[in-house]
Structure 1
Amino acid sequence: MATLPTLFVSHGSPMLALQDSPARRFLQALGKTLPRPKAIVVVSAHWETSGGPAVSLAPQPATIHDFGGFPRALFEMRYPAPGAPDAAERAAALLEAAGVPVGRSADRGLDHGAWVPLRLMYPDADIPVAQLSVVRGAGPAVHERIGQALVALREEGVLVLASGSLTHNLYEFRGQSVDAPVPDWVSGFEAWMKARLESSDRAALLDYREAAPFAVRNHPTDEHLLPLFVAMGAAGPDARITQLHASFEHGILAMDAYAFD
Structure 2
Amino acid sequence: MSAAMLPSVFVSHGSPMIMLEPSPARDFLAGLGARFGKPEAIVVVSAHHDTVEAVATASPAPATIHDFGGFPQALFDMRYPAPGDPALAQEIADIVAGAGMPVSVDADRGLDHGAWVPLMLGWPEADVPVVQLSISSRHAPAWHFEIGRLLQPLRERGVLVLGSGSLTHNLRAIFAEGRDHDAAVPDWAAAFADWVQERIAAGDTEAVLNAVERGPHGRQNHPTPDHILPLFAAMGAGGRGERIHHSFTYGVLAMDAYAFH
Range of TM-score over shorter length: over 0.9
- Structure 2 match to 1:206: 209
- Structure 1 match to 2:168: 167
Distance 2:213 2:80 in 1: 38
1:224 aligns with 2:227: yes
Distance 1:139 1:16 in 2: 29
The residue matched to 2:48 in structure 1 has which SS? strand
1:83 aligns with 2:87: no
Equivalent pair of 1:42/1:130 in contact (CA under 8 Å)? yes
Distance 1:144 1:125 in 2: 28
Q: Following TM superposition, where does structure 1 have runs of at least 4 consecutive aligned residues deviating by more than 4 angstroms? A: none
Equivalent pair of 2:43/2:161 in contact (CA under 8 Å)? yes
Distance 2:227 2:210 in 1: 16
Q: Deviation at 1:91?
A: 1.2
- 39, 45, 48: which one pairs with 1:46? 48
- 1:152-191 counterparts in 2 under 5 A? 152-173=153-174, 174-191=177-194
The residue matched to 1:46 in structure 2 has which SS? coil
Number of aligned residue pairs: give it.
Answer: 257
**Aligned-pair identity (%):** 56
- 1:1-261 counterparts in 2 under 5 A? 2-50=4-52, 52-173=53-174, 174-235=177-238, 239-261=239-261
Could you list the runs of 5+ residues in structure 1 that have no partner in the other structure?
A: none
User: What TM-score do you get using the length of structure 2 for normalisation?
Assistant: 0.96
Equivalent pair of 1:45/1:164 in contact (CA under 8 Å)? yes
Distance 1:206 1:75 in 2: 35
Equivalent residue letter for 2:244: L
The residue matched to 1:62 in structure 2 has which SS? coil
1:49-83 deviation digits (Å, cap 9, x = unpaired) = 11x21000011000000000000000000001011
Distance 1:152 1:17 in 2: 32
Equivalent residue letter for 1:199: A
Q: Deviation at 1:185?
A: 0.5
The residue matched to 2:184 in structure 1 has which SS? coil
The residue matched to 1:185 in structure 2 has which SS? helix
Q: CA RMSD in A?
A: 1.0
Q: Deviation at 1:88?
A: 1.2
Q: Deviation at 1:188?
A: 0.5
Distance 1:179 1:200 in 2: 32
Distance 2:157 2:220 in 1: 39
Could you list the runs of 5+ residues in structure 2 that have no partner in the other structure?
A: none
Equivalent pair of 1:43/1:163 in contact (CA under 8 Å)? yes
Q: Deviation at 1:136?
A: 2.6
Distance 1:254 1:5 in 2: 21
Q: Deviation at 1:210?
A: 2.1
Equivalent pair of 2:54/2:134 in contact (CA under 8 Å)? yes
Distance 1:175 1:125 in 2: 35
Distance 1:71 1:118 in 2: 20
The residue matched to 1:135 in structure 2 has which SS? coil
Equivalent pair of 1:49/1:133 in contact (CA under 8 Å)? yes
Distance 2:16 2:154 in 1: 28
The residue matched to 2:67 in structure 1 has which SS? coil
